[in-house]
Amino acid sequence: MKIIEVKDYQQMSRLAACIISEKVRSQNRLNLGLATGETPKGTYNYLIKDFNHNGTSYEEVYTFNLDEYVPLSMDNPNSYRFYMNHFLFNHLDIPMSHTFLPLGNATDLENECVRYEKQIEDHGGIDLQLLGIGKNGHIGFNEPRTSFISKTHVVTLTSLTREANARFFERPEDVPKQAITVGIETIMKSKEILLLASGESKREAMNELLHGELSEDFPASILRLHPDVTVIADQTALKGIQVEGYSFTKC
Ligand code: F6R
């Protein structure tokens, strides 16, 4: 794992956007794996700025999001589809038909998981996967003790995750109890992974990611076995943690 320590959230977001847009420009047809939540909002902002100023085109990009709440429909403002349209897709030249998320309101959820997993495979898999990390080490919505060999599946969210995500909802009880998430195996099949972490609330998770045990109790620990993972974390997230720094020259 390459660890890049940056000053703050803005620098983390700028560097992440630079790495992604560079990839969009250099690869003819690109499959991007995308995340939601607080962490990638800055990155999406910088991608939009780059699109407006430098004209980086997303016409040949396909996107696959990590997860979606059950049973939210696409037009629910709390759905991840709504978030992605609002914070990114509506501001780029990406055809909407190239943007994919699991359908949280599918009538047959098991079928939907199989369909989404196949959709990713049929498109040739993820080239670059963007990840945030939960305080408990979840990636996507793969909560602790999810099997490392899981594919896209329905999850019951832990109370810690529901509490952490309550800030996006009007009332804490509105946070859905279930979600569809791509599996850990699905994430590990990505050719390249970029994980972002910012702020004090992610410090324990960063320590565990870098120095803890490889265990299904901490899902992100599996990333140590992936051949091409870059972690961009800010000073606050890495404070007091021993890091073997890596300097990045491409951006
Ligand atoms: C969301 C996702 C989650 C988040 C994680 C961190 O698509 O995959 O794993 O990345 O919960 O969330 P934030 O960024 O809000 O701290």
**Per-residue model confidence as pLDDT tens digits over 195-247:** 999 999 999 999 999 999 999 999 999 999 999 999 999 999 999 999 886 66
Can you give the pLDDT at residue 9? 98
| Residue 143 pLDDT greater than 90, yes or no | yes
d(CA 158, CA 86): 27
Burial (CB < 10 A; 0-12, 13-18, 19+), residue 206, is buried
Residue 219 Cβ inside 6 Å of ligand 1? The answer reads no
b/e for 79-99, b at 16 or more Cβ within 10 A?
bbbbbbbebbbebbebeeebb
Using an 8 Å Cβ cutoff, are 203 and 141 in contact?
Answer: no
Give the pairing type, strands 99-100 and 61-65. Answer: parallel
Task: Give one word for 199, left, alpha or beta, with left for phi > 0 and alpha for psi -120 to 50.
Answer: left
Residue 5 contacts residue 241 (beta carbons within 8 Å): no
At 30, which helix (H) or strand (E)? strand 30-34
Range of lowest pLDDT (90-104, 116-130, 153-167, 187-201): 153-167
Residues in contact with 232: Cβ distance below 8 Å, sequence separation at least 6, in sequence order: 4, 6, 12, 15, 16, 194, 195, 196, 197
Q: How far is the CA of 16 from the centre of ligand 1 (A)?
A: 15
Give the mean pLDDT of the chain.
Answer: 96
Q: Return the pLDDT at 248.
A: 67
Weakest-pLDDT range from 83-97, 106-120, 237-251: 237-251
> Cα–Cα distance between 31 and 251 in angstroms, integer?
21
Q: How far apart are CA 125 and CA 33, in angstroms?
A: 9
137: alpha, beta or left, given left = phi > 0 and alpha = psi -120 to 50? left
**CA-to-CA distance for 193 and 79, rounded, in angstroms?**
24
Atom of ligand 1 at shortest range from CA of 165? 15
227: preceding bond cis by omega (within 30 degrees): no
If you measure from the C-alpha of residue 88 to the centroid of ligand 1, how many angstroms do you get, rounded to a whole number? 16
Predicted local confidence at residue 178, as pLDDT: 97
Question: Which positions are annotated as active-site residues?
Answer: 67, 136, 138, 143
Rounded to whole angstroms, how far apart are CA atoms 221 and 156? 21
Q: Of the residues 43, 138, 194, 222, which should be mutated to test ligand 1's pocket, given the most ligand atoms within 8 Å of the CB?
A: 138
Establish whether residue 103 lines the binding site of ligand 1, counting it when its CB lies within 6 angstroms of any ligand atom.
no
The residue-averaged pLDDT of 143-168 equals 95
DSSP-derived secondary structure letter, 222: G
Pair type for strands 153-156 and 178-181 = antiparallel
Say if ligand 1 is within 6 A of residue 42 CB.
no
